[in-house]
Amino acid sequence: MAFFSKSFFTIALLSLLSCTARGQLSPNFYSNSCPNLESIVASVMSQIASSDPSMAAAILRLFFHDCFVNGCDASLLLDDGPVVSEKRAPPNLSIRGYEVIDIIKLQVEAACRGQVSCADILALAARDSVSLLGGPSWSVPLGRTDSTSASLNVDLPSPDSNIGDLIRAFADKGLDARDLTALSGAHTIGQATCGIFRNRIYNDANIDPNYAFLRRQTCPMGAGPNFNLAPLDVSSPTRFDNAYYKNLVDRKGLLHSDQELFNNGPTDWLVRLYRSNPVAFANDFANAMVKMGNLSPLTGWSGTRRLFCRSVNFSS
């Protein structure tokens, strides 16, 4: 009996250590099972970004929206089926880029079938979206698995949020004001529709008059739905740089939530730092992306590795 108890304890301890190891993300997770993974993702993203730079911004936004709802588990990629898709949630209706992840997944599956999760592919594609447009690169911790469920409870910060709301929303995810300010720098690329920023250009006081006039030319007041696009960064909309922060200091933030980062509040000093020090911005953005990518990931047996990112495996 004593021998049995000791053996059982040893087996249980080894099992616990094994689960702990599986629960840790590592940049080398696929070094044996799919050694060409990163080059496959980078190759597809390079082709996409060169032909349509706006798609790089779309992939980065897709990653944000996935991670902020139940963690980075690729749940946003699921179409309607056994689960109701998160794509139906209002904040996700304008999300693009799903077909890009499909293309990458197809090539990854051809190289190493059943080994790589959609969640990890999305994390790598988001990193490459940034670096391909001139931004920083970083080592992406890998080893996530995919969710078999989704949630329509999509509680994301609104474009009309004030600074207090933004700080609280990020704090709820374990991200601080520095992470918030750095990650908001993703708005140095991408575009927004008139309906998202119309209220700001007609009603906010903390906006440069000439900039407001420019934006009003394609976003008239009271004209109902208007899907005309404007760049989030008026200076260099297809390059990942620190011009976003220069725009904020000049009161040329396109969204109300953007300008809230520089509006006599607690993040003003960070905006000034990133405006004058692009290296500090690049480093802080990369660090914040890693932190965000670590939000409640599924690992080991807590998730699956979908063969198709839009649907759960039949055996799940």
| Active-site residue list | 65
| Token duo for residue 139 | 């080592």
Cα dihedral across residues 99, 181, 171, 28: positive or negative: positive
Long-range contacts made by residues 42-50, C-beta under 8 angstroms, separation at least 24? Answer: 42/124, 42/128, 44/100, 44/103, 44/104, 44/107, 44/125, 45/100, 45/104, 45/125, 45/128, 45/129, 45/132, 46/128, 46/132, 48/100, 49/128, 49/129, 49/132, 49/133, 50/132
Rounded distance between C-alpha atoms, residue 208 and residue 201, angstroms: 9
Please measure the distance between the N-terminal and C-terminal CA atoms of the chain and give it in whole angstroms: 39
312 Rama sector, left if φ>0, alpha if ψ -120 to 50, beta otherwise: beta
Q: Beta-carbon neighbour count of residue 198 at 10 Å?
A: 19
In the three-class reduction of DSSP (H, G, I as helix; E, B as strand; rest coil), residue 142 is classed as strand
Rounded distance between C-alpha atoms, residue 249 and residue 267, angstroms: 12
For residue 307, give the amino acid letter.
L
Q: Which residue from 303, 286, 291 is spatially nearest to 145, judged by alpha carbons?
A: 303
Q: Which residue from 107, 105, 91, 95 is spatially nearest to 59, judged by alpha carbons?
A: 95
Q: Which residue from 190, 166, 290, 287 is spatially nearest to 243, judged by alpha carbons?
A: 190
Rounded distance between C-alpha atoms, residue 294 and residue 248, angstroms: 29
**Tokens 């099992």 sit on residue:** 15
